Amino acid sequence: MVLISVVREYIGRMLQDISGMKVLILDSQTVSIVSVAYSQSELLQKEVFLVELVDSMSKESMRHLKAVFFLRPTSENIQNLTASISHSRFGEYHLFFSNILKVTQIQVLADSDEQEVVQQVQEFFADFCAIDPYHFTLNLHMNYIFPSNKRRPVIRYQRTSDVAKRIANETSKLMYEQESGLFDFRRTETSPLLVVLDRRDDPVTPLLNQWTYQAMVHELIGIQDNKVDLRNIASVHKDQQEVVLSSEQDTFFKANMYENFGDLGMNIKQMVDDFQQIAKSNQNIQTIEDMAKFVNNYPEYRKMHGNVSKHVTMVTEMSRIVEERKLMLVSQTEQDLACNGGQAAAFEAVNNLLSNESISDADCLRVVMLYALRYEKESPVQLMQLFNKLASRSAMYKSGLVQFLLKQAGVDKRTGDLYGNRDLLNIARNMARGLKGVENVYTQHQPLIFQCMENITKGRLRDVDYPFVGNHYQLGRPQEVVIFIIGGTTYEEARTVALHNAISSGTRFILGGSIVLNSSRFLRDLEEAQRITRSSSAV
């Protein structure tokens, strides 16, 4: 299942059978679902001439347009929809909902349609945002990823997480009891597998600086629904203040999204050189034929110019940030903390960073957190020294935040072998890596889900650590696995999944979560969790 293809198929089916001029009306969630899968030009090709949000629709009558609504069946959306239907603002109403409508909601819609303008009401299960072919986010129930695939999964969860257990049980109850008819698809040799994990099992990955293109853009600038806001860059052109970064719409990005920063720089230089050659040829217009050729090729030329400008702007800005924050120095220490042993050397490296005034407070906080996660049991005295030094130099240091992280995601709370020190095979691999060196010191870290994926493909995921829900067990090795991380995914993890799928002809993985994290968002979420915990204990 390629997620973007699923969503594109749904949207295509909504629009293709409705001839004539259309308006597409969305809500705050479905606008994200559509925008990452369809470009504005593609919507125009489907005769969609206007896109509106359901909670801010114009009251102007547009009877010449056919309205296509794609909404979540929330009470607020139903209320806005019935108000529009009762006033018959559009000539026709075609209603599509992203998950299950209640019978009472259908009755409310029917009662409001006194002029019989509603032509159809359908449920299209696309209640997730397909960021990349194998990576999605969703803010509601993960159940609706499976009706779109017409498969009912076997479910496993992380044993040490109460929230993972609760969500896995609720999902199973819905699929096998409450809405069993919705998930009653044809039997297959092996059911897909849903594994519910907790972000707290791997707090290291979202704390690290990133050095591959997509992950680096999100870490240093930010990506929201495949869009990048560049308004804070002083030199950026007005039409480049918000740009789309999508593997479906940008061939250069698709080819380079997982490349490291060094290789990316060389590839961008080649793209600029190619564009300059085209620009030179366009300057040499001497005949009517040359002019006609230029006019015919102008749209493609403009598109290429915009694409070159977009990537050069982002890479230039990231280079500036890397230099300003001394991130190559910081990241080397981060990678050593995440991947290599040696507590004494690690303490010295972190201590030196804390003494370096050119290192930002946020970066100092992250490296202390990484040290604490690695050596919380091994060096409590030195850890306290780092806490005190961080507090004395950093205005943003919030009392007890590192300690709160350890309470939430310390070694006693984790299921997986985060640092590869429990399993003899992992220890041997780490030793071999240390002897041979690595291709790039800044990208040597592998997220914990790499181990999880490897164990699943080899049939070694332990039942005691990842129990099954109910009496639905896996028969045979799964061909399709959805890993859902409560608390959010990272683009580094998405890269791990995509690279596996690119070379594997066996088990295919899909990664999902409630949000795509970078270190800033992870720290904000941690602070909010600390605030809620303190408020609860004070009551």
Q: pLDDT category, 329, cuts 50, 70, 90?
A: very high
Greater pLDDT, 177 or 222: 222
Distance of CA 228 to the CA centre of its chain: 13
Q: What is the largest CA-CA distance in the chain?
A: 82
| Residue 301 confidence (pLDDT) | 73
Instruction: Compute the average pLDDT of residues 219-226.
Output: 97
- Specify the range with the lowest mean pLDDT, choosing from 15-19, 106-110, 154-158, 435-439: 435-439
Count of Cβ atoms closer than 10 Å to residue 256 Cβ: 20
Give the start-end residues of each E strand in 138-237. Answer: 154-157, 193-198, 227-229
**Predicted TM-score of the model (pTM):** 0.89
| Burial of 391 from C-beta contacts in 10 A (0-12 / 13-18 / 19+) | middle
Q: Give the angle subtended at the CA of 525 by the CAs of 524 and 530, to the nearest 5°.
A: 100
- Per the CB < 8 A criterion, the answer to whether 192 and 481 are in contact is yes
Split at pLDDT 50, 70, 90, the class of 187 is: low
10 Å Cβ neighbour count for 165? 17
Selection from 137-141, 143-147, 395-399, 400-404 with the highest mean pLDDT: 400-404
Structure confidence at residue 74 (pLDDT):
94
pLDDT above 90: residue 236: no
**pLDDT band of 179, cuts 50, 70, 90:** low
Banded pLDDT at 477 (limits 50, 70, 90) = confident
Give bridge partners of residue 343 from the DSSP assignment: none
Flag the least confident range among 244-248, 291-295, 440-444, 499-503.
Answer: 291-295
Across 415-424, average pLDDT: 69
Q: Is the pLDDT of residue 203 over 80?
A: yes
* Average pLDDT of the residues of the chain: 88
Strand ordering across the sheet containing 129-132: 129-132, 135-137, 508-513, 480-486, 193-198, 154-157
Lowest average pLDDT, out of 1-5, 148-152, 263-267, 527-531, goes to: 148-152
Distance between CA atoms of residues 466 and 104, nearest Å: 39
More confident call, 476 vs 161: 161
Residue 425 has pLDDT above 50, yes or no: no
- Top pLDDT among 467 and 176 is at 467
Task: Give the residue-averaged pLDDT of 53-79.
Answer: 94
Q: Find the mean pLDDT for residues 296-305.
A: 72
Residue 141 pLDDT level (bands cut at 50, 70, 90):
low
Percent of the chain past pLDDT 90, that is, above it, reads: 68
Residue 304 has a pLDDT of 86
Question: Mean pLDDT, to the nearest integer, of 205-222?
Answer: 98
pLDDT band at 184 (very low <50, low <70, confident <90, very high): low
Q: How confident is the model at residue 152 (pLDDT cuts 50, 70, 90)?
A: confident
